[in-house]
Amino acid sequence: MHIRLKLFANLNQYLPPGAHRNVVEVEAPDGATPHQIMDLYGVPRDQAHLVVLNGVFVLPHQRSSISLSEGDALALWPPIAGG
């Protein structure tokens, strides 16, 4: 299946070739979970603080169980500090 992988801030270093800005369409195993996608592209799980699937926040305990589908968009952000 194909999904859109979006990596923000310092996570963009894990984008595979062919990315435009911070987005790339990738092939993923059918039914892959967010954690499986992170592992596949070498994104450290502890650095993906905010995980969003099709615009909906994925809770940490769901990241190993929720399955992605064809055409989904998975976006990852590192921890962000501000003030």
Distances in Å between the alpha carbon of 19 and those of 2, 16, 31? Answer: 14, 6, 23
Once rounded to an integer, what is the mean pLDDT over residues 22-41?
Answer: 96
Buried b (16+ CB within 10 A) or exposed e, 2-30: ebebbbbeebbebbeeebeeeebebebee
Q: pLDDT tens, 34-57?
A: 999 999 999 999 999 999 999 999
Residue 78 contacts residue 47 (beta carbons within 8 Å): yes
Residue ranges of domains in the chain, CATH in brackets:
2-74 (3.10.20.30)
Copy the structure tokens of residue 27. Answer: 């092939």
Model confidence at 19, in pLDDT bands (50, 70, 90)? confident
